Amino acid sequence: EDKVVQSPLSLVVHEGDTVTLNCSYEVTNFRSLLWYKQEKKAPTFLFMLTSSGIEKKSGRLSSILDKKELFSILNITATQTGDSAIYLCAVGGFSGTYKYIFGTGTRLKVLA
Amino acid sequence: EAQVTQNPRYLITVTGKKLTVTCSQNMNHEYMSWYRQDPGLGLRQIYYSMNVEVTDKGDVPEGYKVSRKEKRNFPLILESPSPNQTSLYFCASSQTSGGPYNEQFFGPGTRLTVL
């Protein structure tokens, strides 16, 4: 069965800390892995990782994809209170139908 | 402004009363999808559409219907809502170049309560 598992479920850190969020997956015919940030509303896109793009970076955020071990990590350095959100991992695959499966998310709270 | 819109944003209804949640995007995206989000379960895909008149089931399609008669619109229909359909619903769209696995743009969400 296709699945996406994120860990930890929740995390509380202080401003300036570095955090690592994990996403492991088992998806038929993997095509892409995406990270989203969800504050009190709709998810917003952070990164997309594929076979041809296994490492992405934008400012304090970076992500890597390990296709062999079937996981991805999202790193946030020098965290700020504005980073407080739920971080969602989604994986796209194909098994007769197009699948787009989300993990349950990691809730990050950054304290001032 | 490029966006996905949903209406209504909030809805309280009663069991069995048919309802429709509308979704519209102005980005000329081929792919559109509906999700429901429940505590502890994350986002689960209900239905998706690869293009006009092409729809397919996601992981939790029971109790829902969709249609895609125009590229920009993808309404979600609950023919006979039940309390277990109380949830936060998101519509999303994306381009399909290379497959429907690209960045998805989400609507603001519809919070539905079925009494």
**What is residue B2's predicted lDDT score, i.e. its pLDDT?**
86
Dihedrals phi, psi of A63, to nearest 5 degrees: -150, 145
**What is residue B66's predicted lDDT score, i.e. its pLDDT?**
97
Asked if B45's CB is within 8 angstroms of A100's CB, the reply is: yes
DSSP string, B7-57: E-SEEEE-TT--EEEEEEESS--SEEEEEEEETTTEEEEEEEEEETTEEEE
**What is residue A93's predicted lDDT score, i.e. its pLDDT?**
84
What are the chain A neighbours of B99 within 8 Å (beta carbons)? 31-32, 92, 94, 98
> What is the rounded CA–CA span in Å between residue B75 and residue B34?
9
Task: Give how far B82 is from chain A: nearest CA, Å.
Answer: 24
- Per residue in A38-69, pLDDT tens? 998 899 999 999 877 788 999 999 999 998 88
What one-letter code names the amino acid at B54? Answer: V
Lowest mean pLDDT across A28-32, A74-78, B98-102? B98-102
Q: Nearest CA to A69 among A33, A105, A106, A94? A: A33
Q: What is the mean pLDDT of chain A?
A: 92
* Pick from A31, A42, A44: CB nearest B99: A31
> What is the rounded CA–CA span in Å between residue A101 and residue A28?
11
* Pick from B40, B48, B101: CB nearest A104: B40
What are the chain A neighbours of B101 within 8 Å (beta carbons)? 31-32, 34, 48, 50, 92, 98, 100
Cα dist. A65→A17, A22, A32, A33, A92 in Å? 22, 10, 10, 8, 13
- Per residue in A78-101, pLDDT tens? 999 999 999 999 998 877 777 789
Average pLDDT over residues A35-39: 96
| pLDDT tens-digit profile, chain B (115 residues) | 889 999 999 999 999 999 999 999 999 999 999 999 998 888 999 999 988 999 999 989 999 999 999 999 999 999 999 999 999 999 999 987 666 678 899 999 999 999 9
Q: Is the distance from CB of A35 to CB of A53 less than 8 angstroms?
A: no
Asked if B42's CB is within 8 angstroms of A102's CB, the reply is: yes
> What is the rounded CA–CA span in Å between residue A15 and residue B115?
42
